[in-house]
Each structure stands twice: as structure tokens, then as C-alpha cells.
Structure 1
Amino acid sequence: MSEDNEMQDYYDLVNQASTLLQKSLSSTYTDALAETLTNLADGKVYVENGAPDEKSVAELEKLYSQIKAVNLSQLQLKQAITVNIIQAQRLDKVEVNKLMTPDTIGLIASLIAFEILTASGQKKINLIDPTIGTGNLLIEFIDQLNLAGDFEINAAGIDNDETLVGLAKSFSEVMNLNLDAYHQDGIAEWEITDIDYAIADLPVGYYPVDDNAAKFETKADEGHSYAHHLLIEQTMNNLNDGGIGIFIVPSAIFQTDQAKKLSAWMVSNVYLQAVLDLPGNLFASKEAQKAIVVLQKHGGKAQQASNVLMGTIPGTDNVKEFEGFRNQVRDWASNNFKG
């Protein structure tokens, strides 16, 4: 059987199991998918208060044994589950800010992190995604780093959406990754400490809890503050000295009515090391265009890069141009992040 057929089989079987659980539990498809993945990781069907019923449990056990018989590599497994997540988001009509981050963005972010880690000689990192969502960005980021080098990665994620936290946790379990997942408002105080790196595709919009926003320097002078500004400040404040934050943000982040507050905070607290527009073909319109911003917290061996890495990242399908971009990142990292 071809690899594509095996991936299709895996997707179809997980879809069948999730659909069956959705009916049995009267839940959303996303919740059912999360429970399916948890059951697969645990090797048994979780039953609470008689749900799912005995008939459904028997059907699920049969499906799970078929799923376990499908032989996929780590990369294929992730791709198959990613398609299941896309299906879940379509069926549950998920809002735009909660849509899954494409793999290409995780790949590019991991390339940047890999070159910084290689230049600095760091092999062990504590990593967080403060807006973990489905977990796809963080898992793709970790998988690509593991493919590229020998790193010891401890990962954590935060999200205010309980369904998505459950999905991210179960996704990581099936992928055999150790992830601590926290269901909380990322702008409220964090329990987790000792963090070296952060990766986040930040939700864009206004943050509604003005009392929580009041303690941040990036808060708006009047009205609601931008959630993505607050999350950048919160994340960088929680990193270790010299810690790196890799953020996916709107390309126009420095051209909005609240940009002055963000820029003023950055000057005092972080080094702006890179601003790179993501490939345009990843977005439906110019208005939806996003960029990767790399920030480094003051302290430790951190210093302002002699040249801020700027420009537009070529599409990964353009092999020659993308290889040129990789070389540019390597030179930038080796010149500015020596251990």
C-alpha cells in the first residue's frame, strides 16, 4: 500500500471514530477528535457516567485496533492528524483567530530558531506557546527542530479555550511529545517559569478585560488594548534573560494607532532582531498578510543585532531563493548569537 493510501486510511479511521464519539457524547467534533486522540495515546476508550455506551465502546475498540495497524512515520502521522483538525474546524465553523497555523509557518519559524540555537551552542531549551490553539504550530516547530538537530526540548502551551487546550494536549500525546498544557488567559499571571524560547501565532483584536491590561506598558491610553501587543509584552516579561520570542503578527503591526506604545516598550525591554514578511501565497489577501518578528529579552549575553534581519521570505517551493534565505539567516545568527 502506498504512503498516501496509508495516510488516507488513518485520516478516515480517525474521522469515523471521532464522528461516532461526537454522536455518543453529544459534543462538538473538535472535542470528539481530542478524545479520540487521547484514547489512542492511552490505548483504551475513556468512559464516564456510561458514555460512550457499550455498543459504541466495542465499535471504537475495533476502529482503534485498525488505526494502530496503520504504519506511518512521525511526519506522516502529523500530516494525517492535521487534516483531521482541518475537518474539525470546518465542521465546527471555528472563528478565524482560532484556525490552525499552516505547517509552512512552523517550518520557517523553526529554521530561524535552529540557526540561533546552533550559533549559541544551546542544546536544551524550555519552550512555550502562549496561544497554543490546536497545537499545530508548536508541534511542527518541535518536530522540525528534532529533524534538524539533537535538542532536548521541554514544551508548554497556554490557551483560554478549553477545547483547544484539550486538542493540543491529545495531539502532542499521539505524537509522543511531552507537553504541559495550561487552560488560562495568557494575559493573566502565568504559573510556569524558567522559559528560554517562545513561539506564537498571536490572535489579533481587542482584549476585553481592561483591569488585566492596566498593568502593561503596551495598554491603550483609551478603550480596549490590542491583545497581540499585551501577549508580546507578557511573553517577553516571562522569559529568562536573553530569551527569544518568535511571534507571527500582522505585517502592519508597527503602523497602527497603538504602535507607538508597543515601540516604546520594545526600546526599553527587548532587542528587535528580525522582521520578516511571510510568503504572500500563504494568505488570502494583502490585508491578511503576516510577518515573523524575532525579539530578544535584555540581559544575559543578549545584544542588539548589528543588522536587523528584514525582508520578505521567499516561498518554500522556490528552492533556490529559499536556500538563499536560509544562508542569510545562518549568517545573521552566527554574527549575532554566538554562545
Structure 2
Amino acid sequence: MAEENEMQNYYELMNQASTLLQKSLGSSYTDSLAETLTNLADGKVYVENGAPDAETVAKLESLYSQIKEISLTQVQLKQAISVNIIQAQRQDKVEVNKLMTPDAIGLLTSLIAFEIFSSMKKSKINLVDPTVGTGNLLIEFIEQMQMAGDFEFNVAGIDNDETLLGLAKSFSEVMNLNLDAYHQDGIAEWDITDIDLAIADLPVGYYPIDDNAAKFKTKAEEGHSYAHHLLIEQTMNNLNDGGLGIFIVPSAIFQTDQAKKLSEWMVSNVYLQAVLDLPSNLFASKEAQKAIVILQKHGGNSEQASDVLMGTIPETNNVKDFEEFRNQVQEWARNNFKG
């Protein structure tokens, strides 16, 4: 109970500090939360052109010293900050595509990646999230991987939303994770190279810049192309030979009017290794249902899995079925991914 109180205290003090900064700077709550996290990581209040003023700085310093006295584990710290992010997104009325990815999805993707990389005997991983958003999926994924095994990550995140990217960067700093943040359109050319693994909860919808879409094989025959198709192609193109892409996509991705172009591109460029529907209790409706799709780039030691891992992931609280699923993933990874 004491731990819950500590987490509650952390959240409330962060909320007070962010609200104070928001009023002082006239910014969005998300921007002020990002600045609060940066200030905490740096150990000082950032002041530019006299803002925030001296009185506000004194109040913030008092709040920050109280926050630093709270002792939380890494897991508790992340949970407390996640609640602050949810608060920020409610207050700023953030659009659906930019909402924070639930922790459960980070946990499930890490469980599968752990088995794959253990089978490949690869512990040093260059990782990118091309639609990093708040950073929650990326941070949860890394935290879970490092709790389960001895993994070392070099991490990069791309996003075209400067506010969210700033939040992801400051969130990662407080979690002692060094994130290289790139503010750009993920469908435009990347500066990042040497990538072993990509993980992304892809925004769904049409991509408005047809000139950029023109160079992709997954582009629509006419009209706007699906952004999530282009992002999958772009990401896989930028991976090392044999690199893996773990994508959170709509469950119906292979049943849409543009699915044929996606499938044609996949056949000649990547191996489809897994398609797993996420537990339905994570989504408000059947239409919102998402799946994990795992692709592997041709080259290196990669080959098509003898059995594509397919099905629906059981709910984590269904202990017997979930344990069976874990065993199935472990066996599949051992049989299909070699070091």
C-alpha cells in the first residue's frame, strides 16, 4: 500500500509541476510535462528569456526536491509517468493515432522478441521506433527485455510530431535510457543506418504527400496511399539484412482495398514470420482490434519460417493458456531463428 501511495505522490507532484509550467509558459500540458521530465533528468529548471519567472522557478525547485525524495523502482517510475502521460493526452485532447500504446503491448512484443533474439544468440541490438510517439511502447519493450535477459540496446526514435518526440526524449532520460530522437516524417529518407530491429505501433490512415509515396511499391494505384503500408516498407528497407520488424497494425490489414499491393511487396522483399491478433480485452471494439505482424528482411541468416506463427494471443490473466502460448513462441523461435 505504501508503494501505491509513493506512486500517487509522484504522479500528483509531477501534475502540480507540469500545471505550474503550463500556466507560466502558456504551453500545452504535454509540452510542460516533457519539460518537467527534462528538468528532473538535468537536475535544474530550464529558463529561457526570463520564462518561467523567478517565483515559478522557486516553486518548481521545491516540487522537484519533493519528487526526488520519492523512492520508486524502475517499473513503478515508469507506471507513474505513464499515468501523467494519459492525463496530458486527455487534457490536450490528443487524436486517436497519437494516443499512448498500452504497456500490455510492450510486454507481449518483448516476450516474442526475447525468444527470437535468444535463439539468434544476439544480445547487442540496434533498435528503432519509426513512429515513437510518447515513447511508451519503446521504453516498456526495452525494460521488459532487460528484465528478462542480458540485452544491450542502442535506441533511436523518429516522429513528425515535435511535442510527442520531446516527451519521448525526456521520458527516456528519466528512465536512464539514451534515445537518439529524429524529428522528421518517417516516410521521408532516414539518416539512421545499421538497424537490427524496428518496433512500431503504426498510425493508421492515408498519407497526404503523394510525391513521397510515389517511390514505394506499396503505394496505392490511385489516390492517397495507406501511411501504415508505406511505413512498413520504409522501415524494412532501412534494416540490416536479416533485420526484424515488429509492427502493431489493424487486424484487418490483409483484407483492405490496398492489401494486394502490400502482399505483392512482401513476397519479394521480406519473410512474413508471424501474425498474431492481440487479446480482444485490450480494445474497445472489434473494429479497433490490432495484431502483431513480424517481418524479416531477406539476407543474412534469414529464411522463411517453416510454420508462420499465427493465432490470437490469450489474455495474460488466463494463466494456463498464456503459458501454453509462451511455450509455443519459444519452440517456434528455436526452430526458425539461428545465430
Q: If the TM-score is normalised by the length of the shorter chain, which range does it land in? A: over 0.9
> Secondary structure in 2 aligned to 1:101?
coil
Q: Partner of 1:168 in structure 2?
A: 168
Q: Partner of 2:153 in structure 1?
A: 153
Distance 1:318 1:40 in 2: 39
Q: Partner of 1:125 in structure 2?
A: 125
Alignment of 1:301-312 (within 5 A): 301-312=301-312
TM superposition shift of 1:266: 0.1
Q: Partner of 1:225 in structure 2?
A: 225
> Secondary structure in 1 aligned to 2:317?
coil
> Secondary structure in 2 aligned to 1:241?
coil
**Residue 9 of structure 2 corresponds to residue 9 of structure 1:** yes
Alignment of 1:1-339 (within 5 A): 2-339=2-339
> Secondary structure in 2 aligned to 1:66?
helix
TM superposition shift of 1:163: 0.1
TM superposition shift of 1:317: 1.0
TM superposition shift of 1:141: 0.3
Distance 2:62 2:133 in 1: 30
TM superposition shift of 1:183: 0.5
TM superposition shift of 1:149: 0.3
Distance 1:326 1:84 in 2: 32
> Which residue identity lines up with residue 64 of structure 2 in the other structure?
Y
TM superposition shift of 1:338: 1.6
Distance 2:178 2:324 in 1: 34
Distance 2:164 2:122 in 1: 31
Distance 2:324 2:77 in 1: 30
* Cα deviation digits, residues 132-169 of structure 1 (max 9, x gap): 00000000000000000001101100000000000000
Computed over aligned residues only, the root mean square deviation of the Cα atoms, in angstroms, reads: 0.5
* Cα deviation digits, residues 82-137 of structure 1 (max 9, x gap): 00000000000000000000000000000010000000000100000000000000
Task: Calculate the TM-score normalised by the size of structure 2.
Answer: 1.00
* Cα deviation digits, residues 29-65 of structure 1 (max 9, x gap): 0000000000000000000000000000000000000
TM superposition shift of 1:336: 0.1
Task: Calculate the TM-score normalised by the size of structure 1.
Answer: 1.00
Distance 2:172 2:181 in 1: 10
Distance 2:245 2:170 in 1: 25
TM superposition shift of 1:232: 0.1
Identity %: 83
Distance 2:69 2:224 in 1: 52
> Secondary structure in 1 aligned to 2:295?
strand
> Which residue identity lines up with residue 47 of structure 2 in the other structure?
V
> Secondary structure in 1 aligned to 2:7?
helix
Distance 2:324 2:19 in 1: 45
TM superposition shift of 1:73: 0.1
> Which residue identity lines up with residue 33 of structure 2 in the other structure?
L
Distance 2:43 2:317 in 1: 39
Q: Name stretches of at least 5 consecutive residues in structure 2 with no aligned partner.
A: none
Distance 2:323 2:104 in 1: 15
TM superposition shift of 1:258: 0.2
TM superposition shift of 1:245: 0.3
TM superposition shift of 1:204: 0.1
> Which residue identity lines up with residue 33 of structure 1 in the other structure?
L
Distance 1:224 1:28 in 2: 31
> Secondary structure in 1 aligned to 2:180?
strand
Distance 1:316 1:180 in 2: 32
TM superposition shift of 1:319: 1.3
> Which residue identity lines up with residue 46 of structure 1 in the other structure?
Y
> Secondary structure in 1 aligned to 2:286?
coil
Distance 1:30 1:334 in 2: 42
> Which residue identity lines up with residue 5 of structure 2 in the other structure?
N
* Cα deviation digits, residues 275-312 of structure 1 (max 9, x gap): 00000000000000000000000000000000000000
Q: Name stretches of at least 5 consecutive residues in structure 1 with no aligned partner.
A: none
> Which residue identity lines up with residue 333 of structure 2 in the other structure?
A
